[in-house]
Amino acid sequence: MSRYVIRGGNRLEGTIRVNGSKNAVLALLPACLLSEGTCVLHDVPKLSDVYWMLQVLKHLGADVDMRGSVVTVEGKGITQNEVPNSLACRIRASNLVLGPMIARCGWGKVAYPGGCSIGSRPMDEHLRGLKQLGASLTEKHGFIEGSAKQLTGNEIYLDFPSVGATENLMMAAVLAQGNTLIHNAAREPEVVELQNFLCAMGAKIKGAGTSGIAVEGVRSLGGAEHRVIPDRIEAGTFLTIAAATRSDVVVSNVILEHVEAVVAKLREFGTKLNIYENNEIRVRQTKRLRGVDCKTMPYPGFPTDMQAPFMTLMSLADGVGVMSETVFENRFKHVDELARMGANIRVEGRAAVVKGVKSLSGACVMASDLRAGAALVAAGLAAEGITEIDGVHYIDRGYEALDHRLREIGGDIVRI
């Protein structure tokens, strides 16, 4: 069990590079199961979630290799069709292998997935869509089992633009017979990334990035080589840390379009930002921020994954701000921990009223999930005194060597 020990108050200076996107990789890896060829992914971050997804693929019989940030997957030898509970409980995204397995092998079985505890995360949208593509599904003993001799294209309306459901259905539909239309699809950049990768493998898909995705089924897919997009949530986290600590930091390897909502909100807070054409954003913060309201929404709205880190900013701002969480129902577990550090936050249902304080003070706190952990790191770096954060394994799910990278720009943070 590791913990971070942070001595707050340092002004950070220098350049920090954003790694490849965790959520993109967690969809691209299951997509590799659709092909018997060789798939190569570049700029894959070393994260525990990625490690567990690779274990899932290995368990299913794929040949998997990770050297540095390059991952190679050969899907020829898929022999297993079942993801056991011991693997599925490690990551929520393990459910993304169901669509590809039914499409490629005609049968698949996954234990109900685990992941961060941020509210109930049902799979009804995934399952309804798979049924509409012709799969027979049974849910028993904590497993979901699906089969179909041949999936058939259909018109699917999602009740909510779920990222995972959109991805699962795209992957199932690429090998279905005929055409599929997914309406009210998620528009997240990771969905566009999946489309690009699948098309490089030989799929015929259009429309990702809009709410309507059209898939024309093909008989088989080949291998592909692909560079993963930068992680927009990691970029947003670094910008937030720089603003919270009133620092001078350049965040590099950012796709500007992917962080527009976050940048717009940071500007509303009064963050001084320069945007450069070479995919860099510089934060030069000297003054205290002002409190503003914020509401999480599916993309291109403000991302729910940035809600917790932004609560740290709101806690330090001058004035009152309201954070409304509309995507997940139980994503305010970081509030009690920020309160231990002196934050003034009142939760009312799915909204949190944050009254800014002049400074936070170091304390012993617990990361209850990945982004809550990032919020506490930002708070610890900005606070007076020493903060100890338990539950670092949550942070490892989504940030590679965070302590090391923050130390390189002057953060006083060590892992014990």
Question: Taking the C-alpha atoms of 27, 28, 33 and 39 in order, what is their torsion angle to the nearest 10 degrees?
Answer: -170
Would you list the DSSP string of 295-307?
EB-STTSB-GGGH
Residue number, nearest CB to ligand UD1: 164
Q: Is 225 strand, coil or helix?
A: strand
Per CB under 6 A, 328 contacts ligand UD1: yes
Provide, rounded to whole angstroms, the least separation between the CB of residue 83 and ligand UD1. 15
Interaction mask 108-127, ligand UD1, x per CB under 6 A = ------------xxxxxxx-
Per CB under 6 A, 228 contacts ligand UD1: no
Nearer to ligand UD1, 232 or 405 (CB): 232
Question: Taking the C-alpha atoms of 129, 130, 134 and 139 in order, what is their torsion angle to the nearest 10 degrees?
Answer: -120
Per CB under 6 A, 304 contacts ligand UD1: yes
Q: Hey, which residues are catalytic here?
A: 116
Q: In this structure, which amino acid lies at residue 6?
A: I
131-170 residues near ligand UD1, rule: CB under 6 A? 160, 162-165
44-103 residues near ligand UD1, rule: CB under 6 A? 92-93
Cβ neighbours around 341 below 10 Å, total: 25
Per CB under 6 A, 26 contacts ligand UD1: yes
Per CB under 6 A, 305 contacts ligand UD1: yes
Residues in Cβ contact with 86 at an 8 Å cutoff, skipping those fewer than 6 apart: none
The 8-class DSSP code of residue 131 comes to H
Per CB under 6 A, 248 contacts ligand UD1: no
Nearer to ligand UD1, 90 or 92 (CB): 92
Question: Taking the C-alpha atoms of 321, 327, 328 and 334 in order, what is their torsion angle to the nearest 10 degrees?
Answer: -30
Nearer to ligand UD1, 131 or 272 (CB): 131
Asked if residues 261 and 234 have their Cβ atoms less than 8 Å apart, the reply is no
Nearer to ligand UD1, 193 or 403 (CB): 193
Angle between helices 22-32 and 232-244 (to 10 degrees): 170
Angle between helices 232-244 and 307-316 (to 10 degrees): 10
Nearer to ligand UD1, 123 or 224 (CB): 123
Interaction mask 185-204, ligand UD1, x per CB under 6 A = -x---x--------------
Per CB under 6 A, 301 contacts ligand UD1: no
Phi, psi of 414 (to 5 degrees): -130, 155
Per CB under 6 A, 383 contacts ligand UD1: no
Phi, psi of 92 (to 5 degrees): -60, -40
Asked if residues 54 and 71 have their Cβ atoms less than 8 Å apart, the reply is yes
Provide, rounded to whole angstroms, the least separation between the CB of residue 196 and ligand UD1. 16
Nearer to ligand UD1, 248 or 396 (CB): 396
Per CB under 6 A, 372 contacts ligand UD1: no
Provide, rounded to whole angstroms, the least separation between the CB of residue 247 and ligand UD1. 26
Closest CA to 313 of 282, 285, 340: 285
Give the footprint of ligand UD1 on this chain (CB under 6 A): 23, 26, 92-93, 120-126, 160, 162-165, 186, 190, 304-305, 327-328
